[in-house]
């Protein structure tokens, strides 16, 4: 082979037109169409000597470049760096050259290279060969990542070792408070191991601390990892899977690493954080088992058992340190986390804060740095923005207090949240967790969004996608966006509902009010029926209007409402919107519930590993004389109750084997548990409460299930015969929306609780006054509860034609109320008594011989809990 040929083969990239269309892009995993230009990055061949080509779409490769460290090799000179450059057409060359130019212009941390001359060429090659010999000018600021990544890898300073990273993770995990966790990280990144100055790579440490934010995808679930390491260790896979039931795959692999004979753990760790990160980067690009096994073997020989355990946790994106981005990034500086909230892109945030990271981290520097994070990191196209969220709203009164300027009341559809980025003709779609949305759900919007926004060249839209029945115009239930589910609805299309705009043709709209952003959407957007539509909203200034809208939405079977203050800004990551759902209202009194029997259980994960902590709930179907499944529930029990259940529940282990399911149980294969009840007629009955009843076909109780289930009560007063049967469950499902009692919402909406539109700009907060007065005028040994509307300027005796009434409750019932309050049954005391009238204010009249202490208990528990939760629903 000639020297020229050898040089040609050593080029780090290759380009050509796809020959067959069978090859898949290493980034997006989709096929590269035939005759489409593609670029390969040459990588080490895990199966032998030489290099292998990892093909990418052109756009995908440059997206990878944008997330890589500045020292990682990129395309600088196509003629020198790309094999096959001379063989492609000029039009294809133009596309790649434009990408290179755009990448360099949009990468502020990329060093500007001076124009090269002939005399510079030898120096350029020398610099690549020996980076350590190049000493920067004292006047030049150096990026932390650029400055010494290669030097640090060579130096093996303790601040750069993987062992030190593990030690700090252990300290953070053991810290009890979040402030203490941040202090530990800050101390390490300030003083380092020597106590003098941190000599490691801050950017690399942050990436290692936050594996969930790095967005490296390995597609390796726990059982897949066990399968790989069973082959590596030459051990029985079933033994490892049985140990995996304890819940921590990292500990399982560590345990068998110590037991195997094929690879013995090192006594001392020799890895650096850079070597581990590089290993993970390469692992994320491998998809075949043989390639992954070969890759794991390359690092196992240098691992201690603790090293391998931590590497597995990095792969699982969970270090078990109970610390997130806020606690890690605030150790660097207060602006770093706030900037991260704007753009959920760790690489971009850390690189934009290069100047701060290159200085020692100390309180003095932090106090001097008054720069707003918006000046450091702004939102940018094709980089997902952390979405604004909503907190649970439990009442109309809470909504009016939280939104004193008036609100936009928006229907909360039961779909999937999607953030749309459009840059020219290029589209990106991100989920609520900022991951790419599956193509089959969003690809067709490329045709409709340009029509909906004819002048919108560059956009960032906040939206929701769901299936719409084209005949009725009604939304279909959650879960119908799946590939197989969509096929079942021939008369339905995927529709995108736009509810906010963050960026429009170069203008960042985060600091505009909700009303202003809404107006921009109304002016710029053209509705395309059943494809691209604007969300339904209603301006609300009156509590009665809000209560009626809640009633209407819940009666229609929709999920609820989202409420947004008219003057609110878009604050990424903040829960400053409100969401109203049926199970949030009246302390959960309006939620759907059923008394179900425990039929089986699964092992938990994490801290609940090795415990039965997820339970299969069901009911009896007398028509077929079998038990059917309704839902699986994993919340509602505290740790003490879970420990108690391990001994009390009579279960038989079947290990999710469908062949071991007893004849008395009708269960679909995906719902086969680890344990099955020994006798369902002896199993306990629990009250299961959820957001709503659903019908999605996963369970065998006529496909009825409960969404977001939780255990609200252990019904020791019931057994299998008095629990909810399938016939009763069907009836509950049918009457769920019909039985919604919103009378309390409507009756508690006092006419005085209005927001005056004329003074909205003055931000006059709404204040409703509920007074509870102790009056001694009544000499009877009775409790008298008088509901009277306190409405200024109106007759208390006649509000909307409703007369206030008094109901007497004997002192014996008062004593019963106090006693049963402890047992959580106070709402059952009144029985058939009803309190009618408008609940504008409450007056409590107590006789002299009822002690002051009882007055407090009654006013706090009887009034707030009994009246509000129960009386008006009777």
Euclidean distance between CA atoms 631 and 621, whole angstroms: 15
Euclidean distance between CA atoms 337 and 572, whole angstroms: 12
Which of these, 614, 719, 630, 620, lies nearest to 675 by C-alpha position? 614
518 in Cβ contact with 537 (< 8 Å): yes
576 in Cβ contact with 388 (< 8 Å): yes
CA separation, residue 802 to residues 681, 789, 794, 872 (Å) = 50, 10, 13, 14
CB atoms within 10 A of CB 335: 23
Euclidean distance between CA atoms 115 and 112, whole angstroms: 9
Euclidean distance between CA atoms 272 and 348, whole angstroms: 23
Burial of 379 (0-12, 13-18, 19+ CB in 10 A): buried
Which of these, 480, 500, 499, 504, lies nearest to 490 by C-alpha position? 480
Catalytic: which of 412, 564, 581, 747?
A: 412
15 in Cβ contact with 37 (< 8 Å): yes
Q: Taking each helix axis from N to C terminus, what angle separates 222-233 and 289-300, rounded to the nearest 10 degrees?
A: 60
CB atoms within 10 A of CB 223: 13
Residues in the chain: 874
DSSP state of 798: -
CA separation, residue 347 to residues 206, 220, 355 (Å) = 10, 23, 15
Euclidean distance between CA atoms 130 and 148, whole angstroms: 13
Euclidean distance between CA atoms 710 and 637, whole angstroms: 9
Contacts of 171 (CB under 8 A, 6+ apart): 184
Return the residue matching tokens 């990095």.
314
DSSP state of 860: I
Beta bridge partners, 430, equal 419, 436
Active site residue 608: no
DSSP state of 768: -
Residue 640 has, within 13 A of its CA and on its CB side, a CA count of: 0
Contacts of 368 (CB under 8 A, 6+ apart): none
Euclidean distance between CA atoms 207 and 679, whole angstroms: 50
115 in Cβ contact with 109 (< 8 Å): no
C-alpha torsion angle, residues 94, 96, 100, 101 (rounded to 10): 20
Q: Is 391 left (phi over 0), alpha (psi -120 to 50) or beta?
A: beta
Two tokens at 706?
A: 């409960």
Positive/negative CA dihedral, 753, 758, 760, 765: negative
DSSP state of 850: S
Return the residue matching tokens 């989920």.
431
Contacts of 411 (CB under 8 A, 6+ apart): 535, 536, 537, 553, 558, 561, 562
Euclidean distance between CA atoms 477 and 441, whole angstroms: 15
Beta bridge partners, 562, equal 410, 579
831 in Cβ contact with 786 (< 8 Å): no
Two tokens at 711?
A: 């255990």
595 in Cβ contact with 724 (< 8 Å): yes
- DSSP three-state, residue 560: strand
CB atoms within 10 A of CB 212: 14
Strand 82-83, strand 13-17: pairing: parallel
The catalytic residue positions are 412
């Amino acid at each position: 082979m000639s020297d020229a040929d050898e040089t040609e083969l050593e080029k780090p990239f290759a380009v050509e037109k796809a020959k067959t269309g069978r090859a898949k892009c290493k980034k997006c995993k989709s096929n590269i169409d035939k005759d489409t230009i593609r670029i390969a990055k040459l990588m080490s061949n895990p199966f032998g000597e030489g290099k292998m080509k990892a093909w990418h779409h052109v756009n995908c490769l440059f997206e990878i470049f944008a997330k890589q460290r500045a020292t990682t090799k990129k395309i600088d000179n196509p003629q020198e760096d790309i094999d096959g450059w001379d063989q492609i057409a000029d039009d294809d060359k133009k596309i790649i050259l434009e990408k290179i130019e755009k990448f360099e212009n949009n990468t502020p941390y990329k060093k500007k290279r001076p124009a090269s001359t002939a005399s510079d060429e030898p120096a350029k090659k020398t610099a690549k060969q020996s980076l350590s010999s190049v000493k920067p000018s004292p006047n030049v600021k150096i990026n932390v990542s650029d400055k010494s990544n290669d030097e640090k890898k060579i130096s093996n300073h303790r601040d750069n070792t993987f062992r030190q990273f593990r030690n700090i993770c252990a300290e953070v995990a053991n810290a009890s408070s979040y402030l203490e966790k941040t202090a530990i990280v800050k101390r390490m990144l300030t003083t380092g191991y020597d106590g003098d100055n941190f000599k490691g790579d801050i950017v690399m440490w942050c990436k290692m601390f936050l594996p969930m934010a790095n967005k490296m995808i390995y597609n390796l679930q726990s059982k897949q990892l066990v399968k790989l390491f069973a082959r590596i260790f030459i051990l029985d896979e079933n033994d490892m899977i049985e140990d995996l039931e304890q819940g921590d795959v990292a500990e399982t692999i560590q345990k068998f690493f110590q037991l195997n004979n094929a690879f013995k753990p090192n006594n001392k760790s020799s890895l650096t954080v850079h070597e581990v990160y590089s290993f993970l980067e390469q692992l994320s690009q491998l998809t075949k088992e043989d390639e992954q096994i070969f890759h794991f073997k390359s690092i196992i020989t240098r691992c201690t058992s603790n090293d391998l355990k931590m590497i597995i946790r990095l792969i699982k994106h969970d270090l078990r340190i109970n610390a997130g981005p806020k606690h890690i990034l605030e150790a660097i500086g207060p602006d770093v986390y706030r900037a991260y909230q704007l753009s959920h892109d760790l690489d971009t945030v850390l690189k934009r804060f290069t100047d701060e990271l290159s200085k020692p981290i100390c309180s003095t520097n932090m106090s001097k740095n008054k720069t707003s994070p918006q000046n450091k990191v702004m939102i940018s196209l094709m980089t997902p923005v952390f979405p604004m969220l909503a907190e649970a709203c439990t009442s109309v009164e809470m909504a009016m207090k939280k939104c004193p300027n008036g609100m936009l009341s928006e229907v909360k559809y039961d779909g999937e949240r999607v953030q749309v980025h459009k840059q020219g003709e290029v589209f990106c779609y991100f989920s609520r967790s900022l991951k790419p949305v599956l193509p089959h759900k969003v690809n067709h919007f490329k045709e409709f969004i340009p029509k909906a926004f004819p002048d919108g060249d560059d956009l960032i839209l906040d939206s929701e996608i769901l299936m719409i029945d084209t005949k009725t115009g009604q939304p279909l239930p959650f879960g119908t966006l799946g590939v197989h589910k969509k096929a079942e609805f021939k008369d339905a299309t995927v529709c995108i509902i736009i509810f906010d705009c963050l960026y429009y043709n170069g203008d960042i709209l985060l600091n505009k009010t909700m009303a202003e952003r809404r107006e921009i959407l109304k002016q710029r957007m053209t509705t395309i029926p059943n494809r691209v539509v604007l969300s339904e909203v209603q301006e609300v200034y009156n509590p009665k209007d809000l209560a009626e809208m809640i009633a209407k939405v819940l009666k229609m079977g929709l999920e609820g409402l989202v409420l947004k203050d008219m003057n609110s800004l878009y604050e990424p990551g903040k829960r400053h919107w409100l969401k109203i759902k049926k199970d949030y209202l009246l302390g959960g009194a309006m939620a759907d519930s059923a008394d179900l029997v425990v039929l089986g259980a699964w092992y938990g994960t994490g801290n609940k590993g090795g415990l039965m902590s997820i339970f299969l709930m069901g009911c009896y179907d007398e028509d077929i004389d079998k038990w059917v499944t309704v839902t699986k529930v994993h919340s509602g029990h505290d740790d003490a109750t879970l420990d108690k259940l391990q001994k009390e529940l009579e279960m038989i282990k079947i290990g999710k084997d469908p062949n071991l399911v007893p004849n008395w149980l009708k269960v679909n294969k995906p719902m086969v548990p680890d344990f099955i009840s020994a006798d369902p007629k002896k199993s306990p009955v629990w009250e299961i409460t959820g957001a709503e009843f659903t019908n999605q076909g996963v369970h065998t109780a006529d496909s009825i299930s409960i969404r977001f289930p939780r255990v609200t009560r252990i019904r020791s007063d019931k057994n299998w015969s008095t629990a909810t049967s399938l016939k009763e469950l069907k009836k509950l499902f049918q009457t769920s929306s019909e039985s919604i009692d919103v009378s309390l919402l409507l009756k508690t909406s006092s006419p005085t609780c209005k927001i005056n539109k004329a003074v909205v700009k003055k931000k006059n907060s709404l204040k409703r006054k509920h007074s509870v007065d102790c009056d001694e005028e009544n000499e009877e040994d009775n409790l008298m509860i008088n509901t009277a509307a306190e409405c200024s300027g109106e007759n208390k005796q006649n509000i909307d034609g409703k007369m206030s009434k008094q109901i007497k409750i004997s002192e014996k019932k008062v004593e019963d109320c106090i006693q049963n309050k402890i047992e959580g049954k106070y709402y059952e005391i009144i029985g058939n008594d009803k309190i009618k009238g408008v609940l504008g204010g409450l007056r409590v009249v107590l006789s002299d011989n009822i002690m002051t202490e009882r007055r407090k208990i009654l006013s706090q528990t009887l009034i707030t809990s009994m009246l509000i939760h129960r009386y008006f629903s009777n």
